[in-house]
Structure 1
Amino acid sequence: MKREQELLVNFLKQKGLKQTGQREKILEVFLANMKHVSADELHAIIRKSDPRIGFSTVYRTLRLLTEAGLAREVNFGDGRARFEKAFDKGQHGHLICTSCGKTEEFVVGAIDKAIKQVSSGVGFKPMGHRLEVYGLCKKCQ
């Protein structure tokens, strides 16, 4: 987590913002506990240890973490923005249950190779991609 803290501190300095104890706590909880979390869910967890941290602080900090490259916003088609760790995380996809909302991650190595082949064939330089597969999890089938 030390590298992530350093990245955030440097990012905040570039933006002319300060590293606060609340931002540090939000980063710590986000990195320690979450796969995919909404601002509401993260706020509920953080309030258990520090009820002074408000929802807007959590939301704004998640946006800062996203700008800094430490978090990535993901949307699974249910109208709720969620955030996942982005730093030092390879390309992956999501399997999303349309019944219960359960989400599983999977490595997309073979798909990455296919994207590179197709892209190079038409002179396209891919900068990234998202892969979401919708269906029913084992429990909901």
Structure 2
Amino acid sequence: MMTEERARQLEDALRNAGVRVTRQRAALLRVIASSDDHPDAAELHARAEAAGAGVSLATVYRTLTTLQAQGVIDKLEFRGEPARWEAADQSHHDHIIDVETGEVIEFTNQRIERLQAEIAQELGYEIVHHRLELYVRRVKEK
């Protein structure tokens, strides 16, 4: 989805929640819409400030919470890290988190997906939702 289209979707979500889309919030929404990584609230605030938004960190948090409640962004809570955010309209993927650098890598693996479905089926269930996070450390070469 294009940045402007995503920004409009985020604006619509705020309006549907009864939140006024101020100039500052609109600038923040453009920052969120253009993010192709997994920023936390402080990083989004810094990016919005760099873009001249003049938005408070409290407004960033309130806006993120509202967007999450509207189902247009997802909150990612990785162990030991501040919450990060990503668009909710992405295709299913899992995450690898580098515990030394904090880098988050998205991946999909059909073998893992099939194995999870098989395990659930063997236990008499079907998967309706899941999230896989692998915490990794780069292997040091000898």
Place the TM-score, normalised by the shorter chain, in its bin.
0.7 to 0.9
Name the SS of the counterpart of 1:19 in structure 2. coil
Unaligned ranges ≥5, structure 1: none
TM superposition shift of 1:81? 0.8
Please name the residue that 2:117 is paired with. 116
Question: What is the RMSD of the two structures over their aligned residues, measured on CA atoms?
Answer: 2.4
Report the secondary structure of 1:111's partner residue: helix
Instruction: Name the SS for the 1:37 alignment partner.
Output: coil
Taking the TM superposition and a 5 Å limit, the aligned residue runs for 1:60-99 are: 60-87=62-89, 89-99=90-100
Distance of 1:15 and 1:30 partners within structure 2: 18
Unaligned runs of 5+ in 2: none
Which of 34, 37, 41 is the matching residue for 2:39?
37
Q: Hey, what does 2:19 align to over in structure 1?
A: 17
Give the TM-score, by structure 2 length. 0.80
Query: What is the number of equivalent residue pairs in this alignment?
Result: 139
TM (norm. structure 1) is 0.80
Percent identity (aligned): 29
Tell me how far apart the structure 1 counterparts of residues 30 and 105 of structure 2 sit (CA, whole Å): 23
Which runs of at least 4 in structure 1 moved beyond 4 Å after TM superposition?
Answer: none
Alpha-carbon distance in 2 for matches of 1:70, 1:12: 10
CA contact (8 A) 1:71 1:84 kept: yes
Secondary structure of the structure 2 residue equivalent to 1:50: coil
